[in-house]
Amino acid sequence: MPHEMEDYSVNRLYPPSCFYVKLYRMQLDAPVPLPVLCTDIHLEIPSYLGRDYHGDISHIKAANLLNLQPNGAYLVRKSRSANGHFYTLSLKFNDKIHHYKLYYDPASGLYIREKRYDCVRSLVADGLVTMYLELKAPVFLQRLPTVNYQESPYMTLNKRKLQTLTKERAKYSLCARNIFPAQNLQVNDVEKYEKSHVFKITTFKGLNWCELCGNFLWGFSAQGVKCEDCGLIAHGRCSEKFPNDCIPDLKYLRGVFGIELTTLLTAHNATLPFVVTKCVTEVEARGLTSEGIYRLSGFAEEIDAIKMAFDRDGEKADLSQDKYPNINVITGALKLYLRLLPIPLITFLVHPLLIDAMQHKNLDLKISSIRHALFSLPKQHYATLQYMVEHLNRVSLHAAINKMNSHNLATVFAPTLIGPAEITSSVLPDMTTDILLIETLITHCGKIFNCSH
């Protein structure tokens, strides 16, 4: 009876259509790498190759050496026709001798195809597993590119998570509609949300399975890919099947600074980045009448301390006057956060649209064109930009005391909100239009943002 219950639980967790145990056993059954060592002690061996390098020998001699060995035996030899561009890996598998072009890249290592290895033994071990699976389980490998996403274990295992997030986003949409009523955000906007997965080739330790097809990730290195934002794991080919439904998980985010805005706000289920709101709150509480606000820089050590506090403590980071009496340290941290965004608040795609809008001479037409261009921003960027620009407008109202009118503020914030201009020569880029753009946003923020989005 206990045995039957165990089988039942396993079948519930791992559907019968998934070959978990079978594929894992196949990997264990695959031949292991057996280097045929060279006995020529006078041979010059490249530092990245081992004693399995035999120098300039023919493919016939290589085959004779390998024929005496079991499957999995291999050696590396010089390729006579390669002119030093590659070597030849000779490998015995399925009682046949196979020859492959072996390349070396000082930056990434040894390779035959796309995967990179730090030594020949690891490359051969991984190759033998793949060759063995191709021989023993061709149907499985053929199935990978045809997996139906809607029927995948990913959809089943994440159904509750997706439903929960949809409810949370509905609440966010209602909240955002109250905060920014002019944008006329609808609850339906939640369902249009898209974020692509950020897949990176990964070497996994232990047993891992693809979250799309549900099958074993075979091999000893670079077995598959993992999303850096949500942790989803998949075969390289299966990863191409996922739609843009990444749900970032806080445990995969490395701090706050330098994290893409949409990823950060989705992970925190927030409307605005708390770095921005906390810094702005401090500035408006005790810095609006500070001369040179945003123009003067604080001490780099204290700015870095604030950055580390945000990365470590999140919204609980202490920015109080007792902790940081110099308000310029707070403004420095805020500018640093905006400057480190991988995609600037005014995105690369929208920036040219805004530059075109600035060419209009008629002010009403210019404002209308700017407003229309800003509608192309992602909602997270739009909301944060609106929050920042309205704040800068309030700062400029105290220009008689703080000496920071809208033009001065625009001069400081143009490279921060738009991103640094490309330097194509020794001549510094002309920021005049960008400064005028930010100045226009600050001066006319009421007309630009208080319209339906």
Higher pLDDT, 255 or 369: 369
Query: Which pLDDT score is estimated for 82?
Result: 63
436 — pLDDT class (breaks 50, 70, 90): very high
**Residues 137-158: what's their mean pLDDT?**
60
Query: pLDDT digit string (tens) for 207-240?
Result: 677 877 767 787 777 888 988 877 888 888 888 8
Tokens of 39: 């006995």
- d(Cα 305, Cα 295) in Å, to the nearest integer? 20
Contact in structure between 165 and 247 (CB atoms under 8 Å): yes
Query: pLDDT digit string (tens) for 330-367?
Result: 999 999 999 988 889 999 889 999 999 999 999 999 99
Query: Which pLDDT score is estimated for 94?
Result: 94
Beta bridge partners of 200: 226
Phi-psi region of 205 (alpha: psi -120 to 50; beta: other; left: phi over 0): beta
Task: Count H helices and E strands in the chain, helices first.
Answer: 19, 8
Residue 445: closest CA among 367, 372, 390, 368: 390
Query: Which pLDDT score is estimated for 391?
Result: 97
Read off φ and ψ for residue 128, nearest 5 degrees.
Answer: -65, -40
Contact in structure between 268 and 250 (CB atoms under 8 Å): yes
247 — pLDDT class (breaks 50, 70, 90): confident
Residue 132 neighbours by CB under 8 Å, 6+ apart: 26, 27, 29, 30, 31, 93
In the predicted structure, residue 142 carries a pLDDT above the cut 80: no
Dihedral (Cα; 178, 180, 185, 190), 10-degree rounding: -80
Q: Which range scores top for mean pLDDT: 82-91, 192-201, 420-429?
A: 82-91
Lowest mean pLDDT among 12-26, 34-48, 317-331: 12-26
In this structure, the strands spanning 224-227 and 96-105 are: unpaired
Contact in structure between 265 and 380 (CB atoms under 8 Å): yes
Question: What's the mean per-residue pLDDT of the chain?
Answer: 80
Contact in structure between 312 and 383 (CB atoms under 8 Å): no
Contact in structure between 55 and 77 (CB atoms under 8 Å): yes
- d(Cα 387, Cα 293) in Å, to the nearest integer? 18
Tokens of 161: 């998570």
325 — pLDDT class (breaks 50, 70, 90): very high
117 — pLDDT class (breaks 50, 70, 90): confident
**Residues 131-135: what's their mean pLDDT?**
86
Contact in structure between 450 and 183 (CB atoms under 8 Å): no
**Residues 412-437: what's their mean pLDDT?**
74
Neighbouring C-beta atoms of residue 394, cutoff 10 Å: 14
Residue 422 neighbours by CB under 8 Å, 6+ apart: 429
Residue for token pair 């053929």: 142
Higher pLDDT, 3 or 208: 208
In Å, what is the CA distance from 196 to each residue of 145, 190, 210, 244? 19, 15, 18, 4
**What single DSSP character describes residue 34?**
E
Query: Which pLDDT score is estimated for 300?
Result: 92
In this structure, the strands spanning 109-111 and 233-234 are: unpaired
User: How much of the chain exceeds pLDDT 70, in percent?
Assistant: 77
DSSP sequence for 42-108? T----TTS-TTB--S--HHHHHHHHHTS-TTEEEEEE-TTSTTS-EEEEEEETTEEEEEEEEEETTT
CA 374 to chain centre: 25
In Å, what is the CA distance from 447 to each residue of 105, 279, 369, 440, 452? 56, 25, 12, 11, 11
